[in-house]
Structure 1
């Protein structure tokens, strides 16, 4: 237990991959960090027992490329916060300090690692599925009725009244140019915006006319607070508005839109709102065993490459819905309406209120087929929260099959903590035998994957003398199991 226990005591209760991330940031091993972040899905803002983060250690050790990679992939370094100041003053050289100071401007256009943020950005940039054009100062700005109406009462009302039936809408206010109008669209689509300070008056005027009261208030607060932050960080050539509450508002509004797409029996909005609301801008319908989901191409195509290929396939059969809506209908035969409801909720609002322990396994498999990795991970999280001795082995198999690395880690940790019960189960023996069979031309240094991982977790949790004694008892159980199975690892 010596080496593993020493590592564990140094890093607290962190997992094996997380410890590897901290060590790689100290060494500057960028390839290893890429693997851990992109393949193993390790959280970048985790802390060790000294409140250090991976970004802090990369700054401290002077690895500029690692710092840049961490920032671009979601590591937090916010001005005038403990983490931001700590990283700034711990930086080994001026190059890293400048990188930290310029961080917000560098990453504001690339929405970092959050899958939902990236999806919203793709919707904003989508031109193929636009159904409304605004003519602003001689330029054309294209957009999607469904998103604007879902996000703004002003646009919702205008599309139903004065702009009804119009495909091109002129915007003639003398203070509003195309660049400012696009900034407002960025806010409506993503919950964030970036602007030059000189554009603030025009944007506030436009937001007031569009009855975006919350945006107006936040813009005033931003203009007041940016001066002090500029003094501290000297970085605000560009002003950014990225409060988390706006991202939550986008999710809330698009989740409401998702409710309007559901079959009549599942819909939580009134019949009048369903017929005249934002779902009225539906341009694709999914027929799931006779249940019709009236949806929007811009959201499904930008959320999943599977649905993009399905919707844009010229050979996809377009049928009639039997209703007054003239939209193409695509039949989905290998999913139930209840499971597809989870898919719709995830696509629109990144929520899964319909996800339950009873359907989570089926939803996880469907998410894998539909190329929805975030939904697949959400399923893995729910499975991990309800692990028990009877289901841990099945959960481990699913985690490996669907490449849910975090769930796999949770299953191994659960098995290590309940080893006396787990080793008695025949399905655990099956996993051990399967892992042993995958080791080709076994050498003395080869090990069985599940056994090696469980041994690590046992050692990582052993600190006191009593815990070390218990760990040795568990290791003896493993040795006895392997001996009984005729294996040596």
Structure 2
């Protein structure tokens, strides 16, 4: 028998099998807006809109206020789960049993927040396509993967990586330099290291210019600290044992990674303070410190470093004199222009280029030619793409972004993304294209809808469908829309086969992408038939309109052909 007034308990999906009081998930203070507040006020109030604006504007989310507290601490203290999740995804530092980590864990308002913090440590936010691709290339090197497998067996592996992540069926692009620290190898690529560190850039141009192996004296360098730094260069994520942080500071100083060094030194000071206040001796052997590069200045992040490489490459491609910093190892001829590129970037980002490079020696696809600079590099020819289009493809592969996109280039880039197997490029192009479509005519939106459906650009497809559904009568009065109806597959005859859940904007291409007219029908019903008891009548009305429009389109087509 249920007692009257007894509080109901429910299972929280974020907590698995644990039952918690539903009220525990609520913040201790009501949400409010802080339109002019700083990041600490926004986190304390749970104002995710203000937080989003501050994060996008480049504020340091790990900065401390006069009470030595960070924004994440206030979000956890007030119980604002969404604000805390937003800060964590943006690079807020929170490793359990470190200074900030302990404060956030112990001060969290409820179990929901603590569980989220723990989940973040074991499953950090996904990397961007550029960082993820280069990280896979780095971990795909045999020596590096062997080391991580050993760490994983010892229970000290990096967050998000396990020995079971077998990449043997998809070998990485081979390294061009191997470091030996205490006899143990670490494999890397000159381009990545030189672009991230002034020290490596100088060494590769002088002492290590023609060396494929570099050996460090025994006892002079910690392998774990050096590995963590090189991994950071590739992935923009630092993951290191707390016991190795002091050694990493020394390595960062030698490599002239000033901002990263400052962040680690600051965490070390707080860590020592936390150890001093501990009631018993602290065991740091299993503690790890995780730092996202998004908490560093923009110029110290991977996309900025690759942007500088790209600018130098494009400058050298159009110049008569070779810059001494140029480390290109491949030429791609498009039309009458030769682009100086880097194989590790193209192979890491595109399976298409990786496959071509694998045939380069065996089938002699790339012929060595002497360029106007006097050097001899393999040359590939690309057909079916314009010079401007390939330059935009390069911009994406090096930086994960495309700036100043001409809408007339969008269709070519959708095609290039499919050809080069750069599927996330479609989303980037769609994001750049959408602002141009706000004032587009019905005929233009119909054109983009067809292209979006053909190339699987779901974000653009959803945008066009939403526009048409919300302005259906306006579109129905245009010949362009009526002509489009004849070009599309007919709607499903059986209502049970209709698409009832249109694909989410920006989702990956999937086999269950529905018929355009079925999805349009569902979107129109969602906008016009909110009442459930009116849905069937509204659906019948829409089907009747659609049939009339198709008859009109057939008559117009017949008249045009006469």
Q: TM-score, normalised by structure 2?
A: 0.62
**Partner Cα distance (2:481, 2:551) in 1:** 15
Match of 2:10 in 1: none
Residues 116-265 of structure 1 mapped to structure 2, 5 A cutoff: 116-127=130-141, 128-172=173-217, 174-225=219-270, 237-246=287-296, 248=298, 249-262=301-314, 264=316
**Partner Cα distance (2:544, 2:93) in 1:** 49
**Partner Cα distance (1:90, 1:461) in 2:** 39
Query: Larger deviation: 390-399 or 308-317?
Result: 308-317
Match of 1:315 in 2: 363
1:371 to partner: Cα distance: 0.4
Q: More relative contact order in 1 or in 2 (CA 8 Å, sep 6+)?
A: 1
**Change in 2 beyond 3 A, CA 1:78/1:155:** closer
1:135 to partner: Cα distance: 2.1
1:459 to partner: Cα distance: 4.9
Match of 2:110 in 1: 89
Pick from 119, 125, 147 the counterpart of residue 103 of structure 1.
119
Match of 1:59 in 2: none
Give 5+ residue unaligned stretches, structure 2.
Answer: 1-12, 17-45, 50-84, 95-99, 142-172, 500-514, 553-562
* Greater gyration radius: 2
Match of 2:502 in 1: none
Match of 2:545 in 1: 480
**Partner Cα distance (2:210, 2:90) in 1:** 46
CA RMSD of aligned residues (A): 4.3
Match of 1:112 in 2: 126
Contact 1:361 1:379 in 2 (8 A): no
Contact 2:317 2:338 in 1 (8 A): no
Deviations 1:60-119 (A, max 9, x none): xxxxxxxxxx99xx79998589x999998364xxxx965x343244235xx626322311
Contact 1:455 1:475 in 2 (8 A): no
**Partner Cα distance (2:317, 2:328) in 1:** 18
- State the secondary structure of the residue aligned to 2:430: helix
Match of 2:456 in 1: 403
**Change in 2 beyond 3 A, CA 1:147/1:421:** same
**Change in 2 beyond 3 A, CA 1:50/1:104:** closer
Greater share of residues in helix: 1
**Change in 2 beyond 3 A, CA 1:446/1:188:** closer
**Partner Cα distance (1:200, 1:51) in 2:** 33
**Change in 2 beyond 3 A, CA 1:474/1:103:** closer
Is 1:362 matched up with 2:412?
yes
Match of 1:385 in 2: 435
**Partner Cα distance (1:363, 1:241) in 2:** 34
**Partner Cα distance (2:183, 2:462) in 1:** 56
For these two proteins, the number of residue pairs brought into alignment is: 404
**Partner Cα distance (2:347, 2:266) in 1:** 36
1:479 to partner: Cα distance: 4.1
**Change in 2 beyond 3 A, CA 1:342/1:185:** same
Match of 1:328 in 2: 378
Contact 1:283 1:297 in 2 (8 A): yes
**Change in 2 beyond 3 A, CA 1:257/1:484:** closer
Contact 2:332 2:341 in 1 (8 A): yes
Residues 367-378 of structure 1 mapped to structure 2, 5 A cutoff: 367-378=417-428
**Partner Cα distance (1:346, 1:262) in 2:** 14
- State the secondary structure of the residue aligned to 1:275: coil
**Partner Cα distance (1:474, 1:391) in 2:** 27
- State the secondary structure of the residue aligned to 1:358: helix
Match of 1:353 in 2: 403
Contact 2:208 2:214 in 1 (8 A): yes
Contact 2:491 2:518 in 1 (8 A): no
- State the secondary structure of the residue aligned to 2:185: strand
Match of 1:413 in 2: 466
- State the secondary structure of the residue aligned to 1:381: helix
- State the secondary structure of the residue aligned to 1:102: helix
- State the secondary structure of the residue aligned to 1:282: coil
**Change in 2 beyond 3 A, CA 1:90/1:50:** farther
Give 5+ residue unaligned stretches, structure 1.
Answer: 1-24, 29-48, 53-69
Deviations 1:160-201 (A, max 9, x none): 222232222222373512222111111222222111111011
**Change in 2 beyond 3 A, CA 1:405/1:156:** same
Contact 1:192 1:246 in 2 (8 A): no
Residues 391-470 of structure 1 mapped to structure 2, 5 A cutoff: 391-435=444-488, 437=490, 439=492, 442-443=493-494, 449-461=515-527
**Change in 2 beyond 3 A, CA 1:163/1:415:** same
Q: TM-score, normalised by structure 1?
A: 0.70
Contact 1:204 1:216 in 2 (8 A): yes
Pick from 343, 349, 352 the counterpart of residue 303 of structure 1.
349
- State the secondary structure of the residue aligned to 2:367: coil
